[in-house]
C-alpha cells in the first residue's frame, strides 16, 4: 500500500529503522496504526527519516513510548516540516479521536532526539554507514545510500529510494541518483502509470475562468507539504499573467500548510534554478487575493462569502481535515468544482469521488455530488513508471530490487518492466512484516 512506510534493517546488534509512517486511507488500513510494534524501540541503534510526509513519519512518536532515546537523522528542512506535520496530527487526533496515538508532549520529546544531517554528509550507526541524496520529492526529501560491513570486511551497498520526485519539479532541485548499489529498495506508487503531458497552468486557468463566470467555488484537496506551495506558485503565475482576476480570493485553509509555506519561504537554497531566481525578486507564494485562514471559525465563514473563490485545504486524500467540511458544503451544487492534484489512496473519500461515486457519506450526512470533478495528474510529486525505471537504470551493479510503497497492481507492473527493460531478474514484491536476507 502507499502508506505506513517503515523498514527495519538489522545486522548483528545494529538495528536501524528507516521511516515510521502513519497508515492512511481505508478504515482497515487506519486500524494498523494501533497494532503492537514488531520490535522494541529501546533496542534501536538509531532512526533515519527520508521526509516529513505523514505516511513516512506519522508513527514516530510511538518510539518514545517504547523507550527509544537515541538519534533520529534527517535533513534540516525535514526537521522543520516534521515538527509541523506531527504537531498538526496530534492536534487533529486530540479533536477527533477518543484514543489518540500520541500528543504534543510526545512530539516535543521526539524532536529533542533529532540530529540534522546535510546531503552528502556521511554518518555511521554500528556496522552501517549512511549518506543522504536529494530525492527531489518534497523539500528536504532524501534517498539513503547504505554501506554494510560483513565479518570478512566485505562491504554491501544498499539504497533506499524514499519517495522519488517527478523531476523536473516546479519548486525544488532534481532527483539525485546513487552511483552504485547491489540492493535497491524502491517505491512504486505510480509503477503502472505514465504521467500525461498536461499544461497545468492552462487546466487551472480553464477551471478558474469557469468558476469566475458562474460565481462558483473551486475546491482543491492538497497535501500541505510541497503540493500546496506548488499550487500557490501556480496561482501567482495566473495572477501575474492576468489569467485570473486579482479580486478572486484564494483561501489557503490549513494552519499546517501556512506554517509549511513559511518554511519554504526561508529555504531558497533548496529551490531549483528558476524558482531561486524568481524568489530573489518577490515571494513566489504570495499574490493579490491570497487569504491565509488560521482559525476554524474563519474556515466555517468561507461558505458565506459570495462570488467566485478557490479553497485549498487538507487533507490531500480527504481522509479528514477542513476539506471534508467544504466538500459537504460545496459539492452539492453544479456551479462548483473539485480538482484532484495528488494521489488518492485506495478506499479514501478522495479516491471514491475521483472514480465517480455520486453519493458519499460525509460527517454522517449523505451528500449527492453535483459539482464538476476534475483531475490534474501531471502535478504528482512522485516519479511515474518511466521515471522510476530511468532512476534505477542509472545505478551501477544492481543485483536485487525490492518494490515497496505501492499497491499490488503497480508493483507487479513495475516488476515486469524492470525485468524486461533492465534485465534484473531478482525483483521482489514483499509483504508487510516479511523478513528477507540481503
Domain ranges in the chain are 6-193+381-428, 200-375
Neighbours of 99 (CB within 10 A): 6
CATH architecture type of domain 6-193+381-428: 4-Layer Sandwich (3.60)
| pLDDT tens sequence across 164-207 | 999 988 899 999 999 999 999 999 999 999 999 999 999 999 99
- Report the C-alpha gap between 194 and 168 in whole angstroms: 15
- Report the C-alpha gap between 400 and 53 in whole angstroms: 27
Helix axes 104-111, 76-96, angle to 10 degrees: 160
* Spatial contact of 173 and 384, defined as CB atoms under 8 Å apart: no
Local confidence pLDDT in tens for the 438 residues of the chain? 899 999 999 999 999 999 999 998 778 888 899 999 999 999 999 999 999 999 999 999 999 999 999 999 999 999 999 999 999 999 888 887 778 899 999 999 999 999 999 999 999 999 999 999 999 999 999 999 999 987 777 889 999 999 999 998 889 999 999 999 999 999 999 999 999 999 999 999 999 999 999 999 999 999 899 999 999 999 999 999 999 999 999 999 999 999 999 999 999 999 998 787 766 668 899 999 999 999 999 999 999 999 999 999 988 889 888 999 999 999 999 999 999 998 888 888 999 999 999 999 998 899 999 999 999 988 888 999 999 999 999 999 999 999 999 999 999 999 999 999 999 999 999 999 999 998
Task: Please list, in sequence order, all residues whose beta carbon lies within 8 angstroms of the beta carbon of residue 239, skipping any fewer than 6 positions away.
Answer: 246, 287, 288, 289
Task: Please list, in sequence order, all residues whose beta carbon lies within 8 angstroms of the beta carbon of residue 151, skipping any fewer than 6 positions away.
Answer: none
Burial (CB count <10 Å: 0-12, 13-18, 19+), residue 276: middle
Burial (CB count <10 Å: 0-12, 13-18, 19+), residue 150: exposed
- Beta-bridge partner residues of 72: 47, 114
- Domain 200-375: which CATH class? alpha beta
Residue that is written with C-alpha cell 525505471 in the block: 389
Task: Please list, in sequence order, all residues whose beta carbon lies within 8 angstroms of the beta carbon of residue 420, skipping any fewer than 6 positions away.
Answer: none
- Report the C-alpha gap between 310 and 38 in whole angstroms: 44
Phi-psi region of 140 (alpha: psi -120 to 50; beta: other; left: phi over 0): left
Amino acid at each position: 500500500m502507499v502508506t505506513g512506510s517503515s523498514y527495519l534493517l538489522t545486522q548483528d546488534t545494529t538495528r536501524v529503522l528507516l521511516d515510521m509512517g502513519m497508515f492512511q486511507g481505508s478504515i482497515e488500513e487506519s486500524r494498523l496504526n494501533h497494532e503492537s510494534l514488531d520490535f522494541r524501540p529501546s533496542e534501536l541503534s538509531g532512526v533515519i527519516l527520508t521526509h516529513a510526509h505523514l505516511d513516512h513519519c506519522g508513527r514516530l512518536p510511538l518510539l518514545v513510548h517504547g523507550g527509544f532515546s537515541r538519534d533520529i537523522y534527517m535533513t534540516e528542512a525535514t526537521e522543520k516540516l516534521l515538527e509541523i506535520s506531527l504537531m498538526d496530527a496530534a492536534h487533529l487526533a486530540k479533536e477527533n479521536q477518543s484514543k489518540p496515538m500520541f500528543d504534543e508532549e510526545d512530539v516535543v520529546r521526539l524532536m529533542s532526539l533529532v540530529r540534522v544531517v546535510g546531503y552528502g554528509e556521511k554518518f555511521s550507526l554500528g556496522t552501517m554507514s549512511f549518506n543522504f541524496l536529494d530525492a527531489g520529492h518534497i523539500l528536504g526529501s532524501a534517498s539513503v545510500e547504505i554501506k554494510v560491513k560483513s565479518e570478512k570486511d566485505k562491504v554491501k551497498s544498499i539504497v533506499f529510494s524514499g519517495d522519488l520526485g517527478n523531476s523536473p519539479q516546479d519548486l525544488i532541485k532534481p532527483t539525485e541518483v546513487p552511483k552504485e548499489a547491489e540492493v535497491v529498495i524502491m517505491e512504486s506508487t505510480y509503477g503502472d502509470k505514465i504521467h500525461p503531458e498536461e499544461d497545468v497552468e492552462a487546466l487551472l486557468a480553464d477551471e478558474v475562468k469557469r468558476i469566475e463566470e458562474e460565481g462558483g467555488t473551486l475546491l482543491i484537496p492538497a497535501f500541505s507539504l510541497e503540493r500546496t506551495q506548488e499550487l500557490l506558485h501556480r496561482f501567482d503565475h495566473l495572477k501575474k499573467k492576468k489569467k485570473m482576476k486579482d479580486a478572486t480570493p484564494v483561501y489557503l485553509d490549513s494552519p499546517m500548510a501556512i506554517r509549511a509555506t513559511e518554511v519554504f519561504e526561508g529555504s531558497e537554497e533548496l529551490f531549483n534554478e528558476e524558482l531561486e531566481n524568481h524568489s530573489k525578486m518577490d515571494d513566489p507564494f504570495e499574490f493579490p487575493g491570497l487569504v491565509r485562514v488560521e482559525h476554524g471559525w474563519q474556515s466555517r465563514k468561507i461558505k458565506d462569502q459570495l462570488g467566485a473563490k478557490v479553497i485549498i485545504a487538507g487533507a490531500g486524500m480527504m481522509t479528514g481535515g477542513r476539506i471534508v467540511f467544504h466538500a459537504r458544503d460545496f459539492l452539492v451544487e453544479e456551479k462548483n468544482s473539485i480538482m484532484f492534484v495528488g494521489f488518492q489512496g485506495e478506499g479514501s473519500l478522495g479516491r471514491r469521488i475521483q472514480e465517480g461515486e455520486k453519493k458519499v457519506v460525509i460527517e454522517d450526512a449523505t451528500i449527492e455530488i453535483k459539482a464538476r470533478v476534475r483531475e490534474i495528474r501531471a502535478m504528482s510529486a512522485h516519479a511515474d513508471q518511466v521515471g522510476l525505471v530511468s532512476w534505477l537504470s542509472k545505478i551501477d551493479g544492481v543485483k536485487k530490487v525490492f518494490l515497496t510503497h505501492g499497491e499490488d497492481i503497480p508493483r507487479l507492473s513495475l516488476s515486469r518492466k524492470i525485468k524486461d527493460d533492465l534485465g534484473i531478474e531478482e525483483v521482489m514484491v514483499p509483504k508487510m512484516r516479511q523478513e528477507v536476507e540481503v
